[in-house]
Structure 1
Amino acid sequence: MLTTSTPDADGNSCMVSGSSPGVLESQSKWGQYFEDAVAEDTSDEDRAEGQIDSKVYKSFLAACGGTSTVFWICVIQTFWQGFQVASDVWLSHWTSSPDAASNTNFYIAIYSALCLGSVFMVLCRALTVASSGLKASRSLFDKMTNSLLGTTMTFYDNNPIGRIINRYGSDTAVMDTELPYSFGDIAAMFFAVAGSLLTSLAVIQWAGLMFLPILYLYVRISQMYLRPSRELSRLINITNSPVLNFLDEVEHGYALIRAFGAKYVAQAIDRHAHHVNTNSQMSFAKYVVNMWFEMAIQLQGTAIVMIVASGLVFFRPILSAGMVGLAFNYVLLADANMVELVVDYSYLEIRMIAPERILQYSNLQLEDPDASHKGQMMLTQGAIAFNHVQFRYKPTGEYVLQDLTCAIAGGEKIGIVGRTGAGKSSLTMVLFRMYPLTSGSISIDGRDIATIAKTDLRRQISIIPQSPVLFKGTLRQYLDPFGAFDDAALWDVVTKAGLHSLVSGLPEKLSSEVAEKGSNLSVGERQMLCLARALLVQSKIVVLDEATAAMDHDTDVRLQQVIATEFATATVLTIAHRLHTVMHSDRIMVMDAGRVVEFDTPTALLAKED
């Protein structure tokens, strides 16, 4: 990455910065640094191989509505094929009837009714397929979203954002726009082939013997096509993820690239070109395979037309002109339908890769699988105890918290300081149970937090981060997402947070829209909104993670005043670099290399000579 997300001891992303002399020595060394960082940070994307598992088909059909949907599609197709065959047979009878000229209106009326019935069945099929496909797409989309929202943080450490976007983008688009109609086309062609064969057999009995080897050849061609096409389609999806991921990285790290100079900008362009070229190679290879498939199918179809025409010429003495025309039409139609059936099945197999990939992200490991069996807890004091806590982000990584043992009394104000990588933010991560501890335990009010459901625990702890992210919505929805408080309570916390003039000056007041990521608010205003939200729920534990780093002096002072007055009885953990930010604390925790090296009052620490 341009700013890799390999967590340091603070849980922050490690940035490839100009402070590293090895990076600045040469372009090749920077490239190697980049490659090593990415390789360490992410795992290879899982890729299924071979035929699509039958479980994928079952899951998709179940999401479509199950057996009832399949039954109604079969019924509709049966009626449609019946109308199709009946109209053609009626047309053949009409052309051969001696009284056709005198009963023209009668024949036209019957033929028109049969055609209208066929059109009506086509409309019914289209509506059924579209509605069931939309239902399946929404169901699998929701299932994947719920799975991603409930999975562990480790999953996001190992999988770059491009992989997730790829599934929400191209794979979901295939399910929305292509896959349902593939099933509809398969059903239509299956019944069309069956109807054509039965009609042909009724006229020329040897047609069935002829179609068996033809069908076998089509199946063989399809198998030869599917094997490489399936794998290439999977590779296209996989190689598209780095393209999306690189664009996301450039968006967040463009300043870093520009700071390195022109040659590093050129290298970033080369890396993007490499990702695009790799994806294009897979796409071109699949295009070539598709062209071969279409050519092979067309050549075989041409050969069949010649054989059928020769056979009908041979049987001309024993068949009427109308029957020859009907037989020739249906033999050709059966061949064309078989071609379409094989092509549709082949494309269906390729398109089923989309739900296959989405289902991979629909059954992820849950972050808190036993939440329903864990009891609830209402924090009363906010006392925190760390007991021999050891923690690392990866099983083979270095410990970022090492044998950390300390106790914090309820209502105590603690400042946490230390150099970058000391473990300050990692302390916050384990307190919120974002990651499991390697060993040791953390207790709040005497109870091990591992025995508390994560949602219940996090609901009672508030955090004001350095760069808060706000979702698009109204101010009211952000402050009170569950609608548990009235407007009077909302205005009260807005006033206490010093945002009354800002909110009252907006046209819609509390109903005013917050832009994506809160871009229509300053960083300080976003942080004060976080504070207002913490005031609303009256959290017994409040964490300020570098909250004042991006604030101006006045906002910083206002924040400290609110913390001192409104959270007088709450436990407050303040992670900071500015000394004046933590000097008002009851005690200051000094961390280094994941250990607590000093933990005393500000006065006592200042009195030490070292």
Structure 2
Amino acid sequence: MSAERQQAMALLRHAAAPERHHVWLGFFCLLLAALLEACGPLLGKYFIDNYLLPRHWVALDVALLLGGILLSGLVATLLRYLQLLRLAGVAMRSARRLREEVYGHVLALPMAFFDKAITGQLVSRVTNDTEAVKQLYVQVLFVMLDSVIVVCGALAAMAWLNWRLALVVMLLLPAVFLIVWLYQRWSAPSVTKARQLRSDINAQVAESIAGMSVLQASGAEQRFARRFADTNQQLYGARMAELRANAWLLRPALDLLNVLLLATVIWVFGSHRVSGLEVGVLYAFVSYIARVVEPLIQITMQFSQLQQAVVAASRVNGLLREGLAAAAGEGSSITAGEVSFRSVRFGYDAAHPVLHDVSLHIPAGAFYGIVGHTGSGKSTLLSLLLRFYAPQAGDVCIDGRPLATISDLAFRAGVGLVPQDPFLLAASARDNIDMGRGLSQAAVEAAAQAAGVHELIVALEHGYDTDMGEGGTRLSVGQKQLIAIARALAGQPRILLLDEATSHIDSETEQLVQQALARLHGKVTLISIAHRLSTIRDADQIVVLNHGAIAEQGSHDALMAIERGIYQRLYLLQQLESVVEQG
């Protein structure tokens, strides 16, 4: 068995583990239905040989015999209905659980995974691939299992009727397995490639929509259209290769095999090469050949979908095997908010460190600004404090405890983040501040007032119930940033981190942010990575990073006093730019 199939079967067993009793009950109904269906031709053979041909009409016997044929058919139909409900329910519930598990797993993956992940492909894993896994249940539990049982029952009945004639039928069956093997060898590469190309198309569409403004502004529409057309052409080629395999090796080849089987059985019967044959046996064999070949046709016709589902299951399984972030400890909550970096060294590639032996102590309630040139390590320092990554050497501590010893619940409750690019849900203002924490209206409004955005929200047509639109399209960048600050404050954190929170806002909104920070000064520990140095001018300490190391540290006045210092040059350059813009 190939690695992909092993992974697919492992995923099936995992997702369907809570459904064992439903699987066994469905299997029992399927087996009983197949046995009853196999009885039909036997009863028909008995009727032909004992009543129809000899014209031996015994009304009660004939009535009982025909009633038995009718009853077996009705019971088999009822059992098929129950089997369908059971096994279809297994497939639907297993796919639902799997989809939730995959989504939950993606949410828990470390940030290092998303550095290389492509959004469109991840969306395809969670939606398309998990839906394809449902088809895997359908193909395996319905078509494959049903067909195998029906074929085995028909072959057993034929062997019981006349083992020599059954042997003639069985000698032609290896041709079916040859057809299936050839189809797999021919179609599998095309199916795998088509699945990957579909994922690539999803990724390209998601990427283009997310960057549509930049794409159109740079006149790249035609280039992106050509790239999409090339991928789409490759998908078309893969699908056509799969279609050619279907056209040659599925229904046409197996229909030919069915004709050969019928011709062989009739020729053997007509030539009397097997003694003792009755007309009823011929009727039963003709019926059973259809019951043997048709399930085999169904299996091979579904093989294309099965192959796609196996590939999808392999991809889902691969995603589920991605390592999660290291489990955090069970430490108590963050009470003070003291932060310290102790000889921290880190690099996204361990061979090329971004931070070099960084040591920094931030007292509880202090306001610290982090500045530096692009690539100096500012955002990396913040990412380590947020536990997105773990340092290769040294420790990051809160209240004297390493981050790894603080529980996730305590850490998320004690640390708030205001990102550079505010993320807003396509939901109400209240929902965007609450973020599913179940906060009271009073708590939401208090956070909005602390962030200076309460007046803006109540001025909207529906106040806190006003829908913000996808990505907060109804708001300016500055207004979105204020809501992001309110969201962070709503959790009443002991530490508030601002990642260049004022880099995209106007001067008026910047003043609102500065006022919000001034109200928080001394109440929470404030750590602000700043592009606009004016926002951290009142910070207790300003830390200047240069090439991953602390180059300067002190208050604004102290750093400005350093002749030709890094901070002094940065500040004076920004002041000059501001004067030029106003002039």
1:368–1:453 Cα contact (<8 Å) kept:
no
Tell me, yes or no, if structure 1 residue 239 matches structure 2 residue 197.
Answer: yes
AA at the equivalent of 1:152:
P
Matched with 2:106 is 148
Q: Give the 3 Å change call, closer, same or farther, for CA 225–146 of structure 1 in structure 2.
A: same
Distance 1:540 1:71, change over 3 A: closer
| Corresponding position of 1:289 | 245
Aligned pairs, how many?
A: 556
Unpaired segments ≥5 residues, structure 2: 565-583
Give deviations 1:206-260, integer Å, cap 9, x for gaps: 1332233322222222222223433332222223332222222222334444444
Provide the residue aligned with 1:16 in structure 2.
none
2:258 to 297, 301, 306: 301
**In the alignment, which residue of structure 1 is the partner of 2:334?**
379
Report the equivalent of 2:549.
595
Deviation for aligned residue 1:412: 1.8
Which of 221, 225, 228 is the aligned partner of 1:272? Answer: 228
Partner of 1:127: 85
2:420 to 441, 444, 466: 466
Alignment-derived partner of residue 57 in structure 1: 9
Whether 1:367 aligns to 2:325 is: yes
CA distance in 2, matches of 1:560, 1:542: 14
| CA distance in structure 2 between the partners assigned to 1:157 and 1:289 by the alignment | 39
SS of the aligned residue for 2:115 comes to helix
The residue number in structure 2 matching 1:427 is 381
| Structure 1: distance between partners of 2:165 and 2:539 | 93
1:76, distance to aligned residue in structure 2 (A): 0.7
Query: What secondary structure sits across from 1:286 in the alignment?
Result: helix
Q: Match for residue 579 of structure 2?
A: none
Distance 1:361 1:226, change over 3 A: same
Give the aligned partner of residue 116 of structure 1. 74
What's the counterpart of residue 206 of structure 1?
A: 164
The one-letter amino acid of 1:383's match is E
Q: Deviations over 1:286-313 (max 9, x none)?
A: 2222223224433333322321221122
- 1:203 deviation in Å? 2.9
Matched residue type, 1:579: L
SS of residue matched to 1:388: strand
Contact preservation (8 Å) 1:472, 1:513: yes
Describe the superposition over 1:485-519 as per-residue Cα deviations: whole angstroms up to 9, x where unpaired.
Answer: 43322222223333334444556654554544333
Alpha-carbon distance in structure 1 between the residues aligned to 2:492 and 2:295: 69
Q: Which residue of 1 aligns with 2:577?
A: none
Q: Which moved more, 1:474-483 or 1:199-208?
A: 474-483
Letter of the 1:598 counterpart = E
Going from structure 1 to structure 2, the CA distance change for 1:496 and 1:158 (only over 3 Å counts) comes to closer
1:215, 1:338 within 8 Å by CA — same for their partners in 2?
no
Distance of 2:463 and 2:41 partners within structure 1:
69
SS in 2 for 1:158: coil
Counterpart of 2:124 in structure 1: which amino acid?
Answer: N
Q: From the superposition, tell whether residues 267 and 222 of structure 1 become closer, same or farther in structure 2 (CA, over 3 Å).
A: same
Q: Is the 8 A contact 2:135 2:309 kept in 1?
A: no
1:158 to 109, 112, 116: 116
One-letter amino acid of the structure 2 residue matched with residue 303 of structure 1: L
Q: Say which SS state the counterpart of residue 154 (structure 1) adopts.
A: helix
Task: Kindly provide the amino acid, as one letter, of the partner of residue 349 in structure 2.
Answer: K
Structure 2: distance between partners of 1:497 and 1:69: 54
Q: Distance in 2 between matches of 1:337 and 1:375?
A: 56
AA aligned opposite 1:522: S
Aligned counterparts of 2:307 and 2:512: Cα–Cα separation in 1: 61
> Could you say which residue in structure 1 is the equivalent of 2:507?
553
**Residue in 2 aligned with 1:312?**
269
What is the match of residue 578 of structure 2?
Answer: none
Cα deviation, residue 177, structure 1? 4.6
Show the 5 A alignment for 1:15-414. 50=2, 52-54=4-6, 56-64=8-16, 65=18, 67-94=20-47, 96-97=51-52, 98=55, 109-177=67-135, 179-261=137-219, 264-294=220-250, 295-315=252-272, 318-341=276-299, 343-344=301-302, 348-369=306-327, 371=328, 374-396=329-351, 398-414=352-368
Local SS of the residue matching 2:364: coil
Query: Is 2:332 the partner of 1:417?
Result: no
How far does the alpha carbon of each residue in 1:183-210 deviate from its partner, in whole angstroms, 9 at most, with x for none? 2111221221122222322333213322
- Residue matched to 2:516: 562
Q: Shift of the alpha carbon at 1:551?
A: 2.3
Q: Is the 8 A contact 2:340 2:397 kept in 1?
A: yes
Task: Work out whether residues 477 and 483 of structure 1, in 8 Å CA contact, stay in contact via their aligned partners in 2.
Answer: no
Counting only pairs closer than 5 Å after superposition, residues 444-463 of structure 1 correspond to structure 2 as: 444-463=398-417
Superposition deviation, residue 146 in structure 1: 2.2
How much has 1:321 moved relative to structure 2? Answer: 3.5
* Distance of aligned partners of 1:54 and 1:245 in 2 relative to their CA distance in 1, 3 Å threshold: closer
Q: Structure 1 counterpart of 2:337, which letter?
A: G
* Higher mean C-alpha deviation, range 349-358 or range 103-112: 103-112
Contact 1:543 1:573 in 2 (8 A): yes
What SS does the aligned partner of 2:188 have? helix
Kindly state the Cα deviation for residue 434 of structure 1 after the two structures are TM-superposed: 0.6
Is 1:506–1:512's contact at 8 Å kept on the other side of the alignment?
yes
Q: Residue type of the partner of 1:123? A: Y
CA contact (8 A) 1:471 1:517 kept: yes
1:357 Cα shift? 1.5
Q: Is the 8 A contact 2:344 2:355 kept in 1?
A: yes
Q: Judge conservation of contact 1:480–1:533 (CA < 8 Å) in 2.
A: yes
Partner of 1:437: 391
Amino acid at match of 2:35: G
Give the direction of change, closer, same or farther, for the CA distance of 1:464–1:491 in structure 2 (3 Å limit): same
Normalising by structure 2, what TM-score?
A: 0.86
| CA–CA separation in structure 1 for the residues paired with 2:80 and 2:301 | 20
Residues of 2 paired with 1:54 and 1:609: CA distance?
67
Letter in structure 1 aligned against 2:330? G
Give the secondary-structure state (helix, strand or coil) at the position aligned to 1:608: coil
Structure 1 range deviating more: 438-447 or 334-343: 334-343
How far apart, in 2, do the equivalents of 1:272 and 1:131 lie?
Answer: 38
Instruction: Tell me the C-alpha RMSD between the 2 structures.
Output: 2.9
Gap regions ≥5 residues in structure 1: 1-48
CA contact (8 A) 1:200 1:331 kept: no
Check whether the contact 1:432–1:458 (CA below 8 A) recurs between aligned residues: no
Conserved 8 A contact 2:7-2:314: no
**Among residues 520, 528, 542, which one is paired with 2:482 in the alignment?**
528
| Maintained 8 Å contact 1:401/1:593 | yes
Aligned residue type for 1:289: A
Given the two structures, how large is their TM-score scaled by the length of structure 1? 0.83
CA drift of 1:322 comes to 3.6
Question: CA separation of 1:302/1:567 partners in 2, compared to 1, >3 Å: closer, same or farther?
Answer: farther
SS of the equivalent of 1:434 reads coil
Q: By how many angstroms is 1:365 displaced?
A: 0.7
Structure 2 counterpart SS, 1:548 = coil
Distance 2:420 2:557 in 1: 27
- Farther-moved stretch of structure 1 (477-486 vs 465-474): 477-486
Deviation at 1:358, TM superposition (A): 0.8
Alignment check: 8 A CA contact 2:132 2:308 kept: no
| 1:565-576 aligned within 5 A | 565-576=519-530
Return closer, same or farther for 1:531/1:344 CA change in 2, 3 Å cut-off.
closer
User: What SS does structure 2 have at the residue aligned with 1:416?
Assistant: strand
Work out the CA distance in 2 between the residues paired with 1:177 and 1:338.
Answer: 18
Deviates further, 65-74 or 569-578:
65-74
